[in-house]
Amino acid sequence: MAELQLKSHRFRDEREADWRRLEALLARVEKGGARKLKRDELVEMPVLYRQALSSLSVARAISLDQELTAYLESLCTRAYFFVYGVRARPLERLADFLVRDLPKAVQALWRETLVSAALTVAGTISAYLLVRRDPDWFYSFIPGQLAEGREPTATTAFLKQTLYDRGDTHHSLATLATFLFTHNSQVALFAFALGFALCLPTAGLMLMNGCMLGAFLALFVSHGLGVQATGWLMIHGVTELSAVTLAGAAGFSIGWAVAFPGDKRRIDAATDAGRRAATVMGGVILMLFVAGLLEGFARQLITNDVARLSVAAATAVAWGLYYYGPRTRRPS
């Protein structure tokens, strides 16, 4: 034991000065960034890091005291992130996320996105046909307290007025728009959060969200206001519904990984899928924010049907190009 302590003491005396030097440089970097170091100090850092690694290797090989080994492990870990880590500014990292990481994650979930969109379309068509055949189905998809007169028994003049109301009359669509935005935001979050349950809750949410859309359209189409209602809804609905679709895709990816992990452990497969899905959810939050702006301003300020449909088409093209358009490769 005495011989081991002596060996440890000599080892520390011979190399501790280099460790303390590395620790001092790291402390300055962690407080103020690499710009706090001079040029010669920047050159010195990798050398000190390799010396510390060598010391750690020796300490482990000759079984020195655990405190010294733990200290060297911590020191080497800190130095590693400086020497080899990516040092990007917050704005640069955000730009990289928006330009590369997010579109790449969305493209990786193209199958899940198709399934999510197909379920939404299926719900929309089903509810639309049911309400057109029997208007009483409308109340099964749209809560009565939300309708506020916008129901199958309403007059065409009343429904048309609500589509172009700027909010200065009692019966405006502001309440419905707010409800739809809140509802879609909740559906997006729940579709993602409940995806782990073998995709079933996510599938149900996609279907029900489509049913609400189909019932809404069927009501206005039955009064000859289909084009007008589509323009009013899609000026922000393209972005909003696309966000919900991507959230559903994120949920499906997690649920599929849980159900069919393949060669991986189930927890590892779910973790990998969760990382990618979380990146997609960053895009969902961004899209819901943009949809909120469109709903709050564009819907109220633009009352021309052609202009509304043009904005809707432009947003569809913009999001499509953003997520699936060609990109330049990252320079190596």
In the predicted structure, residue 42 carries a pLDDT above the cut 90: no
Does residue 65 share a domain with residue 123?
no
Give pLDDT, residue 34.
74
Domain presence at residue 330: no
Residues 72, 104: one domain? no
Nearest-angstrom CA–CA distance, 128 and 67: 70
The whole-number pLDDT of residue 91 equals: 80
User: pLDDT grade, residue 59 (50/70/90)?
Assistant: confident
Q: Are residues 169 and 309 in the same domain?
A: yes
pLDDT of 57 > 90? The answer is no
User: Does residue 275 fall inside a structural domain?
Assistant: yes
Please tell me whether residues 311 and 218 are part of one structural domain. yes
**Predicted local distance difference test score (pLDDT) of residue 332:** 43
* Domain contains 329: no
Give the residue, 27 or 177, on which the prediction is more confident: 27
Comparison of pLDDT for 2 and 149, the residue scoring more: 149
DSSP class per residue in 220-286: HHTTT-HHHHHHHHHHHHHHHHHHHHHHHHHHHHHHHHHH--TTS-HHHHHHHHHHHHHHHHHHHHH
Residues 59 and 195 in one domain: no
As a whole number, mean pLDDT of residues 310-323 equals: 96
Mean pLDDT across 269-283: 92
Do 154 and 82 belong together in one domain? no
29 and 141 in a common domain: no
Among 62, 87, 112, give the residue marking a domain's end: 87
Q: Is the pLDDT of residue 219 over 50?
A: yes
Same structural domain, 123 and 234 = yes
pLDDT of residue 90: 73
Residue bearing the bigger pLDDT, 224 or 42: 224
CB 139 within 8 A of CB 127: no
Select from 67, 87, 107 the last residue of a domain.
Answer: 87
Is residue 296 assigned to a domain? Answer: yes
How far apart, in whole angstroms, are the C-alpha atoms of residue 50 and residue 57? Answer: 11
pTM: 0.72
Is the pLDDT at 123 greater than 60? The verdict is yes
Handedness of CA 299, 305, 310, 313 (dihedral sign): positive
Residue 309, token pair as written in the block: 């449909």
Span 108-125, mean pLDDT?
97
Domain extent at residue 192: 94-324
Q: Which of the two residues, 205 and 198, has the higher pLDDT score?
A: 205
In a domain, 217, yes or no: yes
Look at residue 179 and tell me whether its pLDDT is greater than 70: no
Cβ atoms within 10 Å, residue 140: 13
Rounded CA-CA distance 16/37 in Å is: 21
Is there a single domain that holds both residue 128 and residue 197? yes
Instruction: Output the pLDDT for position 145.
Output: 63
Q: What is the pLDDT of residue 5?
A: 54
Single residue among 87, 120, 140 that ends a domain in this structure: 87
User: What mean pLDDT comes out for the span 36-62?
Assistant: 86
Interval 274-281 mean pLDDT = 93
- Are 202 and 280 in the same domain? yes
**Cα atoms in the Cβ-side hemisphere of radius 13 Å centred on 113:** 18
The reply to whether 192 falls in a domain is: yes
Selected residue with higher pLDDT from 39 and 222: 222
The 10s digit of each residue's pLDDT in 66-75 is 788 888 899 9
- Mean residue pLDDT across the chain: 86
Does residue 202 lie in a domain region? yes
Q: Are residues 298 and 216 in the same domain?
A: yes
Task: Calculate what percentage of the chain has a pLDDT beyond 70.
Answer: 87
* Domain match, 150 and 190 both: yes
Tell me the per-residue pLDDT of 237-275, one tens digit each, with 9 for 90 and over.
999 999 999 999 999 999 999 999 988 888 889 888 999
The total number of structural domains that make up the chain:
2
pLDDT, one tens digit per residue, over 139-157 is 999 876 666 678 898 999 9
Domain-embedded: residue 293: yes
